[in-house]
């Protein structure tokens, strides 16, 4: 909870991040953003041309990149002040990830993939956790597939599984990198609405990078990094 902003999950202020230049090339890439805040239950689309820093924004929000200057607050915690262990704990409990290429483990079935944060993070994978995961799977329409191996799922079913994994620990923020990028056109809106609906139901904020401009109407807000004010 951000002080003075009880529903605010993510607040980014005056961040500046520099990518060093590749060897033998000219200047490196610099990303800057004056400010961005996302509230609980709010869904935000991030658009912009390639190389404008969309993925960098997600990684700064996830704490996997540290800005040269500026601050990133997540659920009231200044990420710059957190050590590696605390940062991992924040990622585990407060952030869910959805990737374009799903990034599911082929050797686990649907339910075990959704349970993965519990197994990897040392959280209690107890009956309550399993019940929550099954509710999520039911809500996403794949409850009947919970014992199915990943390689026997369609792309749409895989992304629903990834959404369940992202929301399994009830995080305050879901970061999605091109969540519909690998789906066929007929599936894109269905899956996106499933993602948005589930995030809203769980009162989680969603920050999603997308290139699908015809789906932007589904989001509460759209940030165009091509026109955003740099820091």
Which spans of this chain sit near other proteins (rule: CB under 8 A)? 62, 64, 84-85, 88-89, 91-93, 95, 97, 99, 101, 103, 105-108, 112, 116-117, 119-122, 124-125, 149, 165
Nearer to other proteins, 117 or 172 (CB): 117
Nearest to 176 by CA among 40, 36, 45, 11: 45
Nearest to 33 by CA among 7, 8, 60, 64: 60
CB of 98 to other proteins, least distance (A): 11
CB of 97 to other proteins, least distance (A): 6
Nearest to 122 by CA among 159, 85, 149: 85
CA pair distance 156, 138, nearest whole angstrom: 15
CB of 77 to other proteins, least distance (A): 14
CB of 88 to other proteins, least distance (A): 5
CB of 180 to other proteins, least distance (A): 19
> 173, exposed or middle or buried, with CB in 10 Å at 0-12, 13-18, 19+?
buried
Q: What is the DSSP letter of 22?
A: P
Nearer to other proteins, 59 or 189 (CB): 59
CB of 200 to other proteins, least distance (A): 22
CA pair distance 53, 35, nearest whole angstrom: 14
CA pair distance 99, 155, nearest whole angstrom: 12
Nearer to other proteins, 39 or 160 (CB): 160
Rounded (5°) CA angle 217-221-223: 110
Nearer to other proteins, 110 or 228 (CB): 110
Nearer to other proteins, 32 or 96 (CB): 96
Nearer to other proteins, 81 or 86 (CB): 86
Place of tokens 């202020």: 13
Q: State in Å, rounded, how far the first CA of the chain is from the last one.
A: 24
């Amino acid at each position: 909870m951000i002080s003075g902003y009880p529903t605010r999950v993510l607040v980014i202020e005056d961040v500046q991040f520099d990518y060093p230049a590749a060897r033998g090339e000219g200047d490196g890439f610099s990303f800057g953003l004056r400010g961005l805040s996302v509230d609980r239950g709010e869904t935000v689309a991030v658009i912009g041309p390639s190389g404008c820093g969309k993925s960098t924004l997600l990684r700064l929000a996830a704490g996997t990149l540290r800005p040269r200057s500026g601050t990133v607050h997540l659920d009231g915690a200044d990420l710059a002040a957190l050590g590696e262990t605390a940062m991992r704990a924040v990622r585990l409990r407060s952030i869910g990830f959805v990737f374009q290429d799903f990034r599911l483990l082929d050797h686990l079935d649907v339910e075990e993939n959704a349970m993965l944060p519990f197994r990897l993070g040392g959280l209690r994978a107890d009956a309550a956790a399993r019940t929550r995961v099954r509710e999520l799977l039911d809500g996403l329409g794949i409850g009947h597939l919970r014992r199915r191996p990943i390689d026997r799922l369609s792309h749409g079913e895989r992304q629903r599984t990834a959404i369940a994994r992202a929301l399994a620990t009830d995080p305050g923020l879901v970061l999605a990198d091109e969540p519909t990028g690998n789906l066929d056109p007929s599936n894109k809106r269905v899956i996106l609405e499933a993602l948005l609906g589930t995030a809203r139901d769980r009162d989680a904020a969603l920050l999603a990078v997308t290139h699908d401009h015809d789906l932007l109407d589904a989001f509460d807000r759209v940030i165009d990094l091509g026109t955003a004010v740099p820091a």
